[in-house]
């Protein structure tokens, strides 16, 4: 955008802010963005207020009190319908720029309102007026800041001007072209007249709201430093125009009541309730998918950025500031590392979270969510706050909490309930993992500047590899699980994971990254983040997890490495294991009922990181009481003695058979001891990872 033009526009908006200051004295203490938005609320309230007052007075003059007395029960019934359909509202959320959302909420309540208008005339407008005022009063009670209250005032005056003045003008046009109350029926003339009334109101609404649109186009140019107005215009047209697509059906609703009576009217209403419910569920699902896709995209970009550079303590805040603020629909976000280091505080003018909050967060074992109505445990008295998510940051090597993440979320049309807040947990945990791993990399990097480069890389890679291995497993009643990893050198190409899924299920992962060294360890970090993120998203479909992670690796990593992996989902209650084997050594299932029968869980697809869009399939086995499942990497069968002979797979099976009835840890120890005896006197050439799963008898 031209600098001079931008300066001139900014000066004009500053003068408007000075004018708004006469009505809102504290507006000049806000940040530039909030001051501009607040000025728009004040100006919109002032220019729509006269129209709202005229509309209310006009409605009072047009009200038929006798009609209200005669049709009170039917009007009350339709007021109940307004409440119902308002609860089943649908919404649209559009990201206007990286730190600003446009949100619009509507429902089929307006269609109900228009159907009653076509039956009873202007008097029916009191239904929406009363509802809008009650809604305003309830929201005013819980608003805590001048900004929220000016936004409510702007919404009320705009709504009244649209739902009284604009509708009454359109009804005047309707009468002048021969329209009647009630509508005579569904003949072509009456339908056309009613449709003209709806079109008239639509254009009046566009005219009334155009001032608000023009103002915010200027705000977009100032804050985004761009001439682009398409996001604002697109949001305006969608938020205003989309609800009107349903308005013509109000003509049908009113006409059917007049022509066919209350039974057909009620039948159509029942169908509309179903449609409204589906529209609400669809809008919630669409917003969840939008948020989730954006979180994955931002996490991947952050991972790639951290892979590209070895950040020091001074570069990490800049990287987080670049990638994190747009990751969540958050008005405020703070990332803190003990004892007193803020890695990110957004927006910059936010004072951040009180120290008592950090002390509480680092004592938590997992993310926590708070609704607007919830009390904050670190505050002795209840204070107003936005919906919030907190997540502790742990060191992976020690499990010690070193900091936390706090999100305060925008008030959007999407309702922030416990479920929608929990949907943010996987992304905040993945972010915390990345920050923790990066800090550990940074620590190793800064402590190793005086050592040779190769030593530094090996220690860094070893730290990363260790940080991603789980240090404790979810409880598994009736089962035993033992895991060990023995790297051949300071770094390891092997890794494993145990993922806690819904419905008491467990994700079991063992994998081997080709090659070794720092690159392999970093590739493992990205792979583990992707697999764990997709595992929590598709917690019943191991083939979808593997397929999605494979495609993202091929698209973004460009490392020319591949991974063999075995990923299965264990249902401990049913005793079933559904798995996907991507080119990995086949695990062995030794049956308690027939130890001579050994099932080999063979490959279902080629290794990950080779070919995109491969066909990923699964197999399912049932693990009976007393059965033993052994998963391993090729470091065991490829172990060699001094004569160059291999340990081989049959030796593993024989050891398990000889230790039937013993615990998973004892079986694991027996296998490792035999491998080490076999290869005594020769160096360990490959990493060894061994996982033993036993179902108790």
Say what the pLDDT of residue 324 is: 82
Number of domains composing the chain: 3
Q: Residues 250, 306: one domain?
A: no
Residue where a domain stops, chosen among 406, 434, 462: 434
Domain that holds residue 239: 3-260
Q: Residues 92, 206: one domain?
A: yes
Residue 270 in any domain: the answer is no
Mean pLDDT value across residues 502-517: 86
C-alpha distances in angstroms, 137 versus 144, 200, 408, 485? 13, 30, 24, 62
Mean pLDDT value across residues 649-660: 91
* Other Cβ atoms closer than 10 A to 517: 16
The answer to whether residues 465 and 495 touch, using CB atoms and an 8 Å cutoff, is yes
Q: Residues 571, 540: one domain?
A: yes
Say what the pLDDT of residue 224 is: 62
Cα–Cα distance measured from residue 251 to residue 117, given in angstroms and rounded to the nearest whole number: 10
C-alpha distances in angstroms, 624 versus 206, 540, 593? 68, 21, 9
Give yes or no for residue 619 having a pLDDT over 90.
Answer: yes
DSSP class of residue 657 equals H
- Which of 139, 163, 160, 161 is closest to 151 using CA atoms? 139
Task: Name every residue whose Cβ is closer than 8 Å to that of residue 398 and which is 6 or more positions away in sequence.
Answer: none
pLDDT per residue over 205-215, tens digit each?
Answer: 889 988 887 88
DSSP per-residue codes, 478-542: TEEEEEEEE-SSSS-SEEEEEEE-GGG-EEEEEEEESS-SHHHHHHHHHHHHHHHHHHHHSTT-H
In percent, the amount of the chain with pLDDT more than 90 equals 32
Q: Residues 97, 228: one domain?
A: yes
Mean pLDDT value across residues 527-548: 87
Helix (H/G/I), strand (E/B), else coil: 67 = helix
Q: Residues 517, 587: one domain?
A: yes
Residue 146 in any domain: the answer is yes
Query: What is the SS3 string spanning 138-165?
Result: HHHHHCCCHHHHHHHHHHHHHHHHHHHH
Residue 101 in any domain: the answer is yes
DSSP per-residue codes, 458-482: HHHHHHHHHHTS-SS----TTEEEE
Residue 272 in any domain: the answer is no
Residue 484, beta-bridge partner list: 690
CA atoms within 13 A on the CB side of 534: 22
Cα–Cα distance measured from residue 141 to residue 364, given in angstroms and rounded to the nearest whole number: 32
Say what the pLDDT of residue 595 is: 74
- The dihedral built from the CA positions of residue 299, 300, 305 and 307, taken in this order, carries a sign that is positive
* Other Cβ atoms closer than 10 A to 447: 11
DSSP class of residue 166 equals I
Cα–Cα distance measured from residue 214 to residue 209, given in angstroms and rounded to the nearest whole number: 9
Q: Residues 597, 510: one domain?
A: yes
Say what the pLDDT of residue 226 is: 56
Of the listed ranges 140-154, 411-425, 661-675, the one predicted with least confidence: 411-425
Say what the pLDDT of residue 53 is: 96
* Other Cβ atoms closer than 10 A to 226: 13
Q: Residues 478, 393: one domain?
A: no
Of the listed ranges 3-7, 131-135, 248-252, 400-404, the one predicted with least confidence: 3-7
Run of H or E residues at 588: strand 588-590
Q: What are phi and psi of 240, to 5 degrees?
A: -90, -45
Mean model confidence pLDDT for the chain = 83
Give yes or no for residue 455 having a pLDDT over 80.
Answer: no
Give yes or no for residue 483 having a pLDDT over 90.
Answer: yes
Cα–Cα distance measured from residue 467 to residue 445, given in angstroms and rounded to the nearest whole number: 15
Cα–Cα distance measured from residue 81 to residue 273, given in angstroms and rounded to the nearest whole number: 9
- Report strand pairing: 479-486 vs 401-409: unpaired
Residue 274 in any domain: the answer is no
Say what the pLDDT of residue 120 is: 93
In percent, the amount of the chain with pLDDT more than 70 equals 85
Q: Residues 460, 366: one domain?
A: no
Residue 277 in any domain: the answer is no
Task: Name every residue whose Cβ is closer than 8 Å to that of residue 549 and which is 6 or more positions away in sequence.
Answer: 527, 530, 531, 534, 608
Q: Residues 377, 460: one domain?
A: no
pLDDT per residue over 660-687, tens digit each?
Answer: 889 999 999 999 999 999 998 888 888 8
Say what the pLDDT of residue 507 is: 94
Residue 404 in any domain: the answer is yes
Mean pLDDT value across residues 501-518: 85
* N-to-C CA span, the chain: 73
Give yes or no for residue 445 having a pLDDT over 70.
Answer: no
Residue where a domain stops, chosen among 260, 287, 314: 260
Run of H or E residues at 662: none
pLDDT-derived band of residue 386, with 50, 70 and 90 as boundaries? Answer: confident
- Which of 135, 126, 130, 127 is closest to 105 using CA atoms? 135
* Other Cβ atoms closer than 10 A to 528: 24
Task: Name every residue whose Cβ is closer than 8 Å to that of residue 291 and which is 6 or more positions away in sequence.
Answer: 328, 329, 423, 424
Q: How many degrees, rounded to 5, is the angle at CA 390 between CA 384 and CA 394?
A: 155
Mean pLDDT value across residues 284-312: 72
Task: Look up the CATH number of the domain holding residue 361.
Answer: 3.30.450.40
pLDDT-derived band of residue 75, with 50, 70 and 90 as boundaries? Answer: very high
Query: Which of 177-191, 440-454, 519-533 ranks highest by mean pLDDT?
Result: 177-191
Q: Residues 123, 243: one domain?
A: yes
pTM tops 0.75, yes or no: no
Give yes or no for residue 656 having a pLDDT over 90.
Answer: yes
Q: Residues 621, 645: one domain?
A: yes
Q: Residues 524, 653: one domain?
A: yes
Mean pLDDT value across residues 557-575: 87
pLDDT-derived band of residue 450, with 50, 70 and 90 as boundaries? Answer: very low
Cα–Cα distance measured from residue 223 to residue 8, given in angstroms and rounded to the nearest whole number: 14
C-alpha distances in angstroms, 647 versus 15, 30, 638, 639, 685? 82, 71, 6, 6, 13
Helix (H/G/I), strand (E/B), else coil: 651 = helix
The answer to whether residues 94 and 87 touch, using CB atoms and an 8 Å cutoff, is no
C-alpha distances in angstroms, 688 versus 568, 630, 638? 20, 13, 10
Task: Look up the CATH number of the domain holding residue 568.
Answer: 3.60.40.10
Mean pLDDT value across residues 682-697: 89
Mean pLDDT value across residues 370-376: 82
Residue 271 in any domain: the answer is no
* Other Cβ atoms closer than 10 A to 450: 7
Question: Could you identify the residue written with the tokens 């051949």?
Answer: 488
pLDDT-derived band of residue 1, with 50, 70 and 90 as boundaries? Answer: very low
Residue where a domain stops, chosen among 390, 408, 434: 434
């Amino acid at each position: 955008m031209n600098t001079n033009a931008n300066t001139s526009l900014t000066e004009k908006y500053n003068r408007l802010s000075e004018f708004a200051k006469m009505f809102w004295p504290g507006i000049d203490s806000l940040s530039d963005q909030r001051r501009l938005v607040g000025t728009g609320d004040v100006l919109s309230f002032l220019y729509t207020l006269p129209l709202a007052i005229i509309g209310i007075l006009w409605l009072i003059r047009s009200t038929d009190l006798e009609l209200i007395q005669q049709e009170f029960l039917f009007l009350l019934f339709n007021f109940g319908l307004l409440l119902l359909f308002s609860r089943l509202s649908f919404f649209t959320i559009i990201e206007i720029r990286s730190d600003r959302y446009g949100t619009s909420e509507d429902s089929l309540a307006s269609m109900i309102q228009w159907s009653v208008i076509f039956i009873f005339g202007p008097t029916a407008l009191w239904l929406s007026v009363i509802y809008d005022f009650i809604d305003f009063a309830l929201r005013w009670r819980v608003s805590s800041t001048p900004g929220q209250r000016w936004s409510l005032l702007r919404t009320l005056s705009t709504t009244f001007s649209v739902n009284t003045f604009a509708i009454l003008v359109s009804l005047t046009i309707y009468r002048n072209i021969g329209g009647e109350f009630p509508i005579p029926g569904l003949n072509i003339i009456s339908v056309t007249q009613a449709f003209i009334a709806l079109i008239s109101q639509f254009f009046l609404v566009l005219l009334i709201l155009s001032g608000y649109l023009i103002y915010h186009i200027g705000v977009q140019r100032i804050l985004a430093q761009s001439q682009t107005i398409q996001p604002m215009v697109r949001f305006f047209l969608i938020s205003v125009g989309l609800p009107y697509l349903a308005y013509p059906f109000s003509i049908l609703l009113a006409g059917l009541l007049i022509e066919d009576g209350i039974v057909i009217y009620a039948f159509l209403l029942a169908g509309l309730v179903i449609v409204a419910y589906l529209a609400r569920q669809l809008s919630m699902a669409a917003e969840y998918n939008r948020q989730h896709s954006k979180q994955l995209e931002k996490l991947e970009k952050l991972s790639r950025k951290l892979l590209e550079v070895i950040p020091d303590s001074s570069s990490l805040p800049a990287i987080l500031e670049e990638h994190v603020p747009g990751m969540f629909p958050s008005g405020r976000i703070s990332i803190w590392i003990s004892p007193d280091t803020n890695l990110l505080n957004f927006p910059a003018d936010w004072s951040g979270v009180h120290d008592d909050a950090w002390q509480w967060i680092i004592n938590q074992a997992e993310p926590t969510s708070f609704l607007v109505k919830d009390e904050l445990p670190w505050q002795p008295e209840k204070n107003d706050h936005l919906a919030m998510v907190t997540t502790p940051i742990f060191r992976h090597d020690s499990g010690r909490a070193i900091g936390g993440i706090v999100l305060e979320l925008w008030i959007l049309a999407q309702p922030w309930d416990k479920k929608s807040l929990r949907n943010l947990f996987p992304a905040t945990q993945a972010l915390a993992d990345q920050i923790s791993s990066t800090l550990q990399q940074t620590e190793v990097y800064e402590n190793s500047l005086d050592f040779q480069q190769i030593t530094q890389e090996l220690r860094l890679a070893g730290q990363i590899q260790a940080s991603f291995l789980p240090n404790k497993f979810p409880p598994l009643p009736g089962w035993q699980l033992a895991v060990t990893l023995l790297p051949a050198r300071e770094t390891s190409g092997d890794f494993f994971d145990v993922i806690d899924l819904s419905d008491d299920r467990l994700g079991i992962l063992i994998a081997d990254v080709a090659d070794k060294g720092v690159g392999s360890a970093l590739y493992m970090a990205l792979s583990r983040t992707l697999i764990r993120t997709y595992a929590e998203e598709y917690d019943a479909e191991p083939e979808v997890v593997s397929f999605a992670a494979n495609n993202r690796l091929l698209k973004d990593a460009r490392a020319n490495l591949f991974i063999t992996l075995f990923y299965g989902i264990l249902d401990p209650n049913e005793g079933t294991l559904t798995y996907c084997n991507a080119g990995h050594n086949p695990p062995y299932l030794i049956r308690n009922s027939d130890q001579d029968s050994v099932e080999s869980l063979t490959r279902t697809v080629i290794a990950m990181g080779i070919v995109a869009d491969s066909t990923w399939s699964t197999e399912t086995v049932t693990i009976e009481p007393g059965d033993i499942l052994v998963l391993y990497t090729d470091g065991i069968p490829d172990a060699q003695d001094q004569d160059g002979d291999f340990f081989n797979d049959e030796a593993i099976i024989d050891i398990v058979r000889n230790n039937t009835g013993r615990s998973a840890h004892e079986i694991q120890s027996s296998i490792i001891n035999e491998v080490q005896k076999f290869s005594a006197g020769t160096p360990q050439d490959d990493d060894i990872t061994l996982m033993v799963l036993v179902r108790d008898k």
